[in-house]
Amino acid sequence: MAIFLGIIVLIINVTALMWINKLDTMNCVCSESYMRTYIKYFLYFNIVIISIDILLNIYIYFNNISILEFDNNVLYKIYKAIRGIFFIFSLINVVIVIIFINKLKEINCECSEDIRREIYWVYNIVQACYISIVLLFAIIALITVLANRRQ
């Protein structure tokens, strides 16, 4: 399942990068912003990270091993640290993408209109919802643990 989802996420990110590059090549003035630049470079790095994740999951699947077996591997520890730092940039990206695409829609930026824009926008809305739900459950779990400690 992780391989399948990874491939879908990779496709979405590649198509989003194609859309951003289209905006660059056609000199879409209404989309020129630091946000477009951030999204573009984020996507380059994210595509590499997603590809590594897919390859790692394929390796694990076909060798019938557990991810826990990688915990002693120095390269995997470095990769996990990079992923942890990259997670912060991913959160920033979700916010920037939603704001950027909303602004493009508000100003009716015709040169940015594309199905790839809509797919990437919906994808980031879903990510924001998922992150919010995870944070909500984490807060509830923390409150529950703290409440049980006081008793």
- What is residue 65's predicted lDDT score, i.e. its pLDDT? 81
Q: Give residue-wise pLDDT tens across range 10-61.
A: 999 999 999 999 999 999 999 999 999 999 999 999 999 999 999 988 988 8
Is the pLDDT at 70 greater than 80? The verdict is: no
For residue 100, give the nearest of 91, 109, 88 by alpha carbon. 109
- State how far Cα 2 lies from the chain centre: 15
Is the pLDDT at 76 greater than 90? The verdict is: no
Q: Which pLDDT band, with edges at 50, 70 and 90, does 149 fall under?
A: confident
Burial of 16 (C-beta count, 10 Å sphere; 0-12/13-18/19+): buried
Q: Which pLDDT band, with edges at 50, 70 and 90, does 66 fall under?
A: confident
Q: Are 27 and 109 in contact (CB under 8 A)?
A: no
For residue 16, give the nearest of 134, 127, 135, 108 by alpha carbon. 127
- What is residue 88's predicted lDDT score, i.e. its pLDDT? 94
Structure tokens at 63: 């060798």
- What is residue 108's predicted lDDT score, i.e. its pLDDT? 94
Whole-model pTM: value is 0.85
For the chain, give every domain's residue range. Answer: 2-150
**Average pLDDT of the chain to the nearest whole number:** 92
Max Cα-Cα span within the chain: 64
| Percent over 70 (pLDDT), the chain | 100
Q: Which pLDDT band, with edges at 50, 70 and 90, does 69 fall under?
A: confident
